[in-house]
Amino acid sequence: MPEYVEIVEVGPRDGLQNEPRFIPTEDKIRLVDCLSQAGFRRIEVASFVSPKWVPQMADGAQVLAGIRRVPGVRYAALAPNLRGYQSARAAGADEVAIFVSASEGFSRANLNCSIAESLERLAPVAAAAQDDSIPLRGYVSVVTDCPYDGPVAPASVAQVVAALRELGCAEVSLGDTIGQGRPETVDAMLQAVLQEMPAERLAGHFHDTAGRALANIDAALERGLRIFDAAVGGLGGCPYAPGAAGNVATESVAAHLARRGFETGLDLGLVERAAVMARAMRSRGQEQDT
Ligand code: HMG
Ligand code: MG
């Protein structure tokens, strides 16, 4: 039996959040509905952040209200604070993701506060998630390289992972937010992080800016990780991470894993159909920009 690797689809959130043109809510819903048929266990569909900071995600509640939920698929949303958590829950998110940075420069740019302040702000979110029995996912951004502070020490990442573990995160996703990681830096980072959290509770979240995402996934597979985030059509980038191109494309990761003999449970035809939709959303935006 081939070994299972989970791909968490983050396209509707991480993929779309950076698109300059506002994508109509019904297009976002159609994308999620297509993804729901493709065999993902988890799809991150929205974020409940300040609409001033990320206008593209302002319609998260309508997206969650409009999708056709498929049993067995968990629909996740990102929240930066208790208000975001409450909105995500009210909208029916099954899983909530919180996010912190491994560097002070990126924390300031993305969340307008220090790492310590962001963790303090997230404590009531974690408590609420525990009370509600909602699975809590933690993201750590800039796990190898920061666009403001440069290379990030593995020990800093491990420290933040430990803090997220203490907050009660079931899983922590390690984000190479600007896609500058290399297999060696990813490996060194994982070596430190694995002292704090076992591989089965870690996910790799690679952006493909430098074309090294698949090599970095291979480095993470070597260290025992079996969960990877990806976005159909390679959509994405973080609005507060200059230079962050797309997330690694789901279709590339799925094909790569299949070549390596892993099972993802995905219907590659449907993944490709969703990727075509995602690329069309992006190119329509680009036509309007020019
Ligand atoms: P702030 O300006 O410091 O704080 O933002 P604030 O409390 O003054 O809030 C600003 C305004 O937002 C206020 O409205 C609040 O009411 C409102 P105003 O009074 O000016 O009209 N507000 C909210 N509105 C809706 N939902 C909320 C919410 N909270 C406040 N939950 C804040 C602080 C955290 C809000 C802001 O910095 C923010 O929203 N940041 C989010 C940035 C973001 O979404 N970045 C992308 C996601 S992270 C990512 O992509 C990385 C990842 O993919 C992994 C990786 O690749 O590394 C996860
Ligand atoms: Mg990301």
Report ipTM (2 d.p.).
0.98
Q: Which residues surround ligand 2, an ion (CB under 5 A)?
A: 14
Check residue 282 and give its pLDDT. Answer: 82
> Is the CB of 50 inside a 6 Å radius of any atom of ligand 1?
yes
Check residue 241 and give its pLDDT. Answer: 67
Check residue 290 and give its pLDDT. Answer: 40
Angstrom distance (rounded) from CA 124 to CA 167:
9
> Is the CB of 141 inside a 6 Å radius of any atom of ligand 1?
yes
Residue with tokens 């190479």: 176
The separation between CA 82 and the C-alpha centre of its own chain, rounded to angstroms, equals 19
Among all residues, which ones are annotated catalytic?
238
Q: How far is the CA of 237 from the centre of ligand 2 (A)?
A: 6
Check residue 237 and give its pLDDT. Answer: 66
> Is the CB of 106 inside a 6 Å radius of any atom of ligand 1?
no
Check residue 111 and give its pLDDT. Answer: 94
Check residue 289 and give its pLDDT. Answer: 46
**Residue-range domains of the chain with CATH:** 6-284 (3.20.20.70)
Cα→Cα distances 132→2, 41, 137, Å = 35, 21, 14
**269 class by beta-carbon count within 10 Å (0-12 exposed, 13-18 middle, 19+ buried):** exposed
User: Which portions of the chain are predicted below pLDDT 70?
Assistant: 237-239, 241, 243-245, 283-290
Check residue 126 and give its pLDDT. Answer: 98
